């Protein structure tokens, strides 16, 4: 068993990293490794640094520490002009849906594909409809965000994050505004995505969902990260 575990490939590596919020150090010398194909929860009380860690991983925070790598990219050395290319390899979902209200679901996703260089209209259409099918919205591509429920809007955001077939999906409190039934539907989508090979990292305090979908958890507590090891 030990030989098998040694063959795992890291997709996220943090070593002796300090995390700051408004110049105040909230985490000191933290280290963690997440391997390709894992499903991992990042949990902890509000203000403990969950979102700050995710922002660091998408190159939205400066790295202070020994080593920080994601999908093979050195976050300590990444140039500003290269950050958009890194984010195209990631699926990023935040609590704020950030959908364009004046555009349909299809148009929101089409804009995202155009922004990352998809030029052929028919290829964009096929990719959008295939991705909407993954989240159960293939019959609602013509609707506007205000015509959708909160859960449906979150599904659109998940679809947007999956458009470019990311190696890693990162979500920050993705069910924070949703009821338990809708939250369960969203978490089921995340697990289905993971079962197809995508690594998933979710920052959440939705312990009901963690109980329903148990997996490895990284708990931030007293300035440290405690690993469940599951």
The pLDDT confidence band at residue 3, using thresholds 50, 70 and 90, is very low
| pLDDT at residue 52, as a whole number | 92
Please give the mean pLDDT across all residues of the chain.
91
- What span, in angstroms and rounded, lies between the C-alpha atoms of 10 and 7? 10
- What span, in angstroms and rounded, lies between the C-alpha atoms of 147 and 153? 9
pTM: 0.91
Where is pLDDT greater, at 75 or 3? 75
The pLDDT confidence band at residue 2, using thresholds 50, 70 and 90, is very low
Name the β-bridge partners of 226.
Answer: 219
Q: Does pLDDT of 4 surpass 50?
A: no
For the chain, the helix, strand and coil percentages under 3-state DSSP, each to the nearest 5 = 35, 25, 35
Q: What is the mean pLDDT of residues 79-91?
A: 93
The listed range with the strongest mean pLDDT (24-28, 73-77, 83-87) is 73-77
Query: Dihedrals φ, ψ of 32, to 5°?
Result: -160, 155
Question: Among all chains, which residue has been given the structure tokens 């490794």?
Answer: 33
By three-state DSSP, how is residue 228 classified?
coil
Lowest-pLDDT choice from 55-69, 81-95, 101-115:
81-95
Lowest-pLDDT choice from 69-83, 86-100, 105-119, 122-136:
86-100
User: How are beta strands 39-43 and 73-74 bridged, if at all?
Assistant: unpaired
Q: Does pLDDT of 6 surpass 90?
A: no
| pLDDT at residue 45, as a whole number | 87
Task: Give per-residue pLDDT as tens, 155-199.
Answer: 999 999 999 899 999 999 998 888 999 999 999 999 999 999 999
Q: What is the mean pLDDT of residues 98-114?
A: 94
On whether the CB atoms of residues 58 and 170 are closer than 8 A, the answer is yes
Q: Judging by beta carbons within 10 Å of its beta carbon (0-12, 13-18, 19+), is residue 105 exposed, middle or buried?
A: buried
Task: Give per-residue pLDDT as tens, 130-149.
Answer: 999 999 998 999 999 999 99
By three-state DSSP, how is residue 119 classified?
coil
| pLDDT at residue 230, as a whole number | 60
Where is pLDDT greater, at 90 or 22? 90
Share of the chain above pLDDT 90, in %: 77
Helices (H), 58-120: 83-87, 105-115
- What span, in angstroms and rounded, lies between the C-alpha atoms of 10 and 24? 29
Task: Give per-residue pLDDT as tens, 40-81.
Answer: 999 998 888 899 999 999 999 999 999 999 999 999 999 999
Q: Which of 60, 80, 62, 139 is nearest to 104 (CA)?
A: 139
- DSSP for 141-193? TT--GGGS-HHHHHHHHHHHHHTT--SEEEEESTTTTS-HHHHHHHHHHHHHH
Where is pLDDT greater, at 4 or 167? 167
């Amino acid at each position: 068993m030990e030989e098998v575990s040694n063959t795992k490939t890291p997709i996220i590596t943090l070593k002796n990293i300090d995390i700051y919020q408004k110049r105040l150090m909230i985490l000191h010398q933290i280290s963690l490794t997440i391997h390709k194909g894992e499903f991992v929860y990042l949990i902890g009380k509000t203000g403990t640094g969950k979102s700050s860690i995710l922002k660091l991983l998408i190159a939205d925070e400066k790295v202070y520490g020994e080593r920080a790598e994601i999908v093979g990219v050195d976050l300590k050395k990444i140039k500003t002009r290269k950050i958009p290319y890194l984010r195209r390899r990631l699926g990023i979902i935040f609590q704020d849906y950030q959908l364009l209200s004046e555009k349909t679901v299809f148009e929101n996703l089409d804009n995202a594909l155009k922004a990352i260089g998809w030029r052929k209209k028919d290829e964009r259409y096929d990719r959008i409809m295939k991705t909407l099918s993954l989240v159960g919205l293939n019959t609602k591509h013509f609707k506007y965000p205000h015509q959708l429920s909160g859960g449906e809007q979150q599904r659109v955001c998940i679809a947007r994050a999956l458009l470019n077939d990311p190696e890693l999906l990162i979500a920050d409190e993705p069910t924070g505004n949703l009821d338990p039934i809708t939250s369960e539907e969203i978490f089921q989508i995340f697990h289905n995505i993971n079962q197809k090979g995508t690594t998933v990292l979710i920052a959440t305090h939705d312990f009901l969902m963690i109980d329903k979908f148990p997996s490895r958890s990284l708990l931030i507590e007293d300035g440290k990260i405690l690993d469940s090891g599951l």
